Amino acid sequence: MSTDSNRRDFLKVTAAAGAALGLGVPGAAHALSPRPSANRAPAGQARTLLILGGTGFIGPYQVRSALAQGLEVTIFNRGSRPGMFEGVEELVGDRNGDFESLRGRTWDVVIDNSTARPDWVTSIGEFLRDSVGYFYYVSSRSAYASHSTVPMTSAVPSYTYETAGVDRATADITRLPYGLAKAESEREAMRIFPDRHGIFRPGLIIGPDDPTDRFTYWPVRIHRGGEVLSPGDGTDPVQIIDVRDLGDFMALSSDRGHTGIFNLVGPATPRPMAELLYGIRAVTTAETTFTWVPREFLAERGVRPYAEMPVWRPPTPGSEGFARFDLSNEVAHGMTFRSLADTTQATLDFHFSRTPERQAEMRPGLPAEREAEILREWHASR
């Protein structure tokens, strides 16, 4: 029998056993040969992982975690940052259809880090259908059209053309609203790999190398010291995800052959906004006080949650479960969470490693002058 025939037979067995595992069939974990997709590979037999991308923000942490997990890693991208990783095979191509470097190859797992293009998921998924055991798509909690359920749990994507108010017949699939695009991408992954998909829905991804500054604003602001404008009353819940925890869980899933839908946020018990800010302050030596300003007062002055006040998003009708995800399924599958102190220190170390010009360019959050102005107005109103 040819090598290609052996591979095709292996992939068929992988898919069948994955479906059996999902149904709880006894002995299913032992049905795979030669490389068990639901268990760690036998000693000395590393599993193979293809990462689409791998050189942006989350990709390098997936690569490092996978290598630490003992996986053999290949990355596929346009070759703009060659040589980032020692011991990693690099294949050059393009998500827009140049897949030639992937032709004739097989992997146990592929991780798709594409942003929000369902057509990209369709094209690469169809190309790799018979070449990979499992297809893992990095989606977003934005795939939920509503966060009204408390607590939130893993579920099929609820965003549809109808809930998004988009006409399917005339819509440009390359320019869909973000949540709808993620949900449609998930559906394509599920359609092409019905029993062999993993959908990973991170929330706000934070930590070292984050280019958005959405979490970085708070460690940097608190490190500066003084009176810190703090949003709401401190009780609004927060769930976020350290990029290293995301990478670790996806590497673990690749090693064990996890399937299904996973919400990648943390910690398992949502922390209040006050706990977040006080926890960050504990890492610094700055003399800092927090002044909590009601959301109504902030709204009157055009201060927006998640923008001028990063991370914070107070509950509104239909969003009560936004930061109240039930993570019992994820924890049962091995998800772990770094301490807030670890994330804060790593974020500060990263920030102060940047150029002075970039350090001064904090993208979200309130400029110092505007923060001081609002604080003066708040104190004067009392």
Domain CATH number, residue 224: 3.90.25
Contact 49, 69 (CB under 8 A): no
Contact 317, 257 (CB under 8 A): no
CATH, residue 171: 3.40.50.720
258-311, pLDDT tens digit by residue?
999 999 999 999 999 999 999 999 999 999 999 999 999 999 999 999 999 999
In the three-class reduction of DSSP (H, G, I as helix; E, B as strand; rest coil), residue 168 is classed as coil
Print the domain residue range for 69: 3-205+242-267
If asked whether residues 88 and 189 sit together in one domain, one would say yes
Predicted confidence band at 116 (pLDDT cuts at 50, 70, 90)? confident
Strands 237-242 and 266-272 turn out to be antiparallel
Predicted confidence band at 32 (pLDDT cuts at 50, 70, 90)? very low
Residues with Cβ within 8 Å of 82's Cβ and at least 6 positions away in sequence, in order, are: 90
Strands 237-242 and 226-231 turn out to be unpaired
Q: Which pLDDT value is given to residue 6?
A: 39
Predicted confidence band at 41 (pLDDT cuts at 50, 70, 90)? low
Q: In whole angstroms, what is the distance from residue 79 CA to residue 279 CA?
A: 40
pTM of the model: 0.86
Q: In whole angstroms, what is the distance from residue 289 CA to residue 298 CA?
A: 18
If asked whether residues 11 and 136 sit together in one domain, one would say yes
Q: In whole angstroms, what is the distance from residue 60 CA to residue 53 CA?
A: 9
137 occurs within a structural domain:
yes
Residue 86 has pLDDT above 50, yes or no: yes
210 occurs within a structural domain:
no
